[in-house]
Amino acid sequence: MASIKEHSKTPERLVGGHRLCGGCGASIAVRQVLLGAGADAEVVVGAATGCLEVSTTALPYSSWNTSFIHNAFENAAATITGVEAAYQGLKAAGRIAQDKQIKFVAFGGDGGTYDIGFQSLSGALERGHDFVYVCYDNGAYMNTGIQRSSATPHYAWATTAEVGSALAGKPQRRKDLTSIVAAHHIPYVAQASVGNWKDLVDKAERAFATPGPAFINVLAPCPRGWRYDSSQTIEVSRLAFKTKFWPLFEVRDGIWSMKEVREKDVLPLEEFLKVQGRFKHLFKPGNEHLIERLQTEVDEAYEYIRKMCVITA
């Protein structure tokens, strides 16, 4: 795994001049993931409709210093696997060189991945194409204005999971997409975060190096939707890790492993929640039990991964 200084020689594959908000986690995730493709690789990028896509492709400009395709919201996986199939077909036809290597990667937000693009992703993974799918998970439909998705955390505020006398934010737990993807028994599955850049870039390197389908779910906070200052994106991501809200783990050929939070670094969940306006209602008197419940759920999810690491070791 290359050092940060080595990586800094990689040509920028996502250049400036895009219109994502200041402090956006999505573009950080993309830059870090694409470092993992290696400095010399030819990369074709696909993207689902969403913040990342609209902000990087406003005509006549493209921020992608690679070949790029956007099709629609729910089909980034089907689309990039169509590109990959074309690569295989053109090779078989002798129209491109047999030794030509291309990396295929698709980016989708949590809406485009957990929800509307779930079927397309599942199908593409099952078919076994050689590609990497990256979900940049900011926990809501940010492009349309912070509506809840199945990735939105329990009790988080969203514009379609409001906070009022009858409702305390989203009433349901979030979907554990990374584990569901692992159940496809593809060669490489990982969960990472922009707050742990080394872990993320290393995982991306492994994903790109893996023949067949690979999937990475990257926590990519949204300052607007989570209601924190734009400078805190990395800090909030680190808190997600240290409070065990967002475990960093991977599943390589069915074997689970986790980057554990060091015992002395573990923080209570409140530390992650209190810096975000979307959870501010949880700190009102009388809502203590909601935080307790959330802490229990987070602990359970963390334990589940730990157990999977033991079972599959």
Partner 1 sequence: MAEVTVLAATGNMMVAEAFRQAAPDVIAAYPITPQTAIVENYAKYVAEGRVHTEFVAVESEHSALSACVGASAAGARVVTATSSQGLALMYEELHIAAGMRLPIIMANANRALSAPINIHGDHSDVMGGRDSGWIILFAETAQEAYDNSIIAFRVAEHPAVQLPVMTTLDGFITTHAMERCELLDDGTVEAYVGKRRPQNPLIGGAAPVGHGMFASLGGTYFELKQAQRRAVCGSAPHILTEGQKWAAVCGRDFDFIDSFACDDADYILVVLGSAAGNARVVAKELRAAGIKAGVAKIRVFRPFPASELRDVLQGAKAVGILDRSDSFGAPYAPVGLDVRTALYDLDTRIPTRNYVYGLGGADVTLDAMRQAFSELQSLAAGHLDQGLSYLGTR
Partner 2 sequence: MNKQNDNNQAAKSSIALDTGDMTTTFARSVEDFDCWRSEDFTLGGVVTDAGNSILYKTGGWRSLRPVWDEEKCTNCMLCWVHCPDSSILVADKTMIGIDYDHCKGCGICALECRFEALRMLSESEAASLEGGQ
The residue ranges that bind partner 2 (CB under 8 A) are 4-9, 11-28, 31-32, 35, 40, 42, 56-57, 59-68, 90, 95-97, 100, 194, 197, 201, 223, 229-235
The pair of three-digit structure tokens given for residue 163, joined into one six-digit string: 């906070």
d(CA 166, CA 176): 26
126 binds, among partner 1, partner 2, none (CB under 5 to 8 A by kind): partner 1
240 binds, among partner 2, partner 1, none (CB under 5 to 8 A by kind): none
8 A C-beta contact, residue 310 and residue 255: no
Write the binding mask 18 to 57 for partner 1: x where contact by CB under 8 A, - elsewhere: --------------------------x-x------xx--x
- The residue within the footprint of partner 1, chosen from 101, 119, 159, 231 (CB under 8 A), is 119
Local structure of residue 151 (DSSP, 8 states): T
7 binds, among partner 1, partner 2, none (CB under 5 to 8 A by kind): partner 2
d(CA 20, CA 22): 7
The pair of three-digit structure tokens given for residue 14, joined into one six-digit string: 């996502």
State the amino acid at position 17 in one-letter form.
Answer: G
14 binds, among partner 2, partner 1, none (CB under 5 to 8 A by kind): partner 2
- The residue within the footprint of partner 1, chosen from 87, 249, 256, 272 (CB under 8 A), is 87
229 binds, among partner 1, partner 2, none (CB under 5 to 8 A by kind): partner 2
3-class secondary-structure state, position 257: strand
3-class secondary-structure state, position 249: strand
Phi, psi of 288 (to 5 degrees): -55, -35
Phi, psi of 297 (to 5 degrees): -60, -40
Given the structure tokens 């997409």, which residue do they identify? 177
Which residues lie near partner 1 (CB under 8 A)? Answer: 44, 46, 53-54, 57-59, 62, 64-72, 74-75, 78-90, 92-93, 95-96, 100, 102, 119-120, 122-124, 126-127
